[in-house]
Chains A and B, each alone.
Chain A
Amino acid sequence: EPEVTQTPSHQVTQMGQEVILRCVPISNHLYFYWYRQILGQKVEFLVSFYNNEISEKSEIFDDQFSVERPDGSNFTLKIRSTKLEDSAMYFCASSESMDGANVLTFGAGSRLTVL
């Protein structure tokens, strides 16, 4: 079964450092997303991406965050200067289309720990 692949599975970084989280969406999917989940809290939407541009972003997705599709397979989330409160599990997801019935497939997640 096709899957969304995320790397690294766990990253530890110092506050103020830049972090790049990588995702390989399912090959025929056209829509890509990042969600995050702080430990013990709910899954929160960060950003959706289609046709090489952001479709929608949440209030969490401020100027410290950026997304990019640098080639035909990868989809990245960059945090420019990490803060302690960025510690969370970051989930990448992808979907074939945007219609209401279409479902998102999530990757296994990247755990980010900011010290």
Chain B
Amino acid sequence: QKEVEQNSGPLSVPEGAIASLNCTYSDRGSQSFFWYRQYSGKSPELIMSIYSNGDKEDGRFTAQLNKASQYVSLLIRDSQPSDSATYLCAVKRSYNKLIFGAGTRLAVHP
């Protein structure tokens, strides 16, 4: 079982729609969760962090965490073509070690 699992995509949504990205993790003791955005050939860029069950909103982005189901999601409202990228789910372990999922490729078409 992979430690952090994501659908590879591509997830294709029209401009202005809501994009929903999902992630599951295997270690039930995990406490800190992150969503990074990665453009092709670039480094991961932090979008959201979440530590408690429930929703956390930041602008057009909402992260959702359900520790009982070991599930993290990211919603992007009013998707823009500039949101087209690979979205990486990451789970923090000891000494700030991040375990990344393989990423979901999002394509927002005009």
Q: Do A and B come from one complex?
A: yes
**Which chain A residue shows the least CB distance to B6?**
A42
CB distance from A65 to the nearest CB of B (A): 16
A43 in contact with B95 (CB, 8 Å): no
Interface size on A, residues (CB 8 A): 26
Interface size on B, residues (CB 8 A): 25
B32 in contact with A91 (CB, 8 Å): no
The majority secondary structure among interface residues of chain B is: mixed
Cβ of A28 < 8 Å from any Cβ of B? no
- The digit string for B77-107, where 1 denotes a CB below 8 A from any CB of A, is 0000000000010101011111111110000
| With known contacts A55-B95, A56-B94, A109-B42, A41–B51 Cβ distance under 8 A | no
Cβ of B22 < 8 Å from any Cβ of A? no
State which residues 33-58 of B face A: CB under 8 Å: 34, 38, 41-46, 49, 51
Known: A100-B32, A101-B51, A104-B46. 15 other contacts (CB 8 A): A31-B96, A41-B102, A42-B88, A42-B102, A43-B90, A43-B100, A48-B96, A56-B95, A56-B97, A100-B31, A100-B92, A102-B96, A103-B46, A103-B49, A105-B46
Query: A residues near B, CB below 8 A?
Result: 31, 33, 35, 41-45, 48, 50, 55-56, 89, 91, 95, 98, 100-109
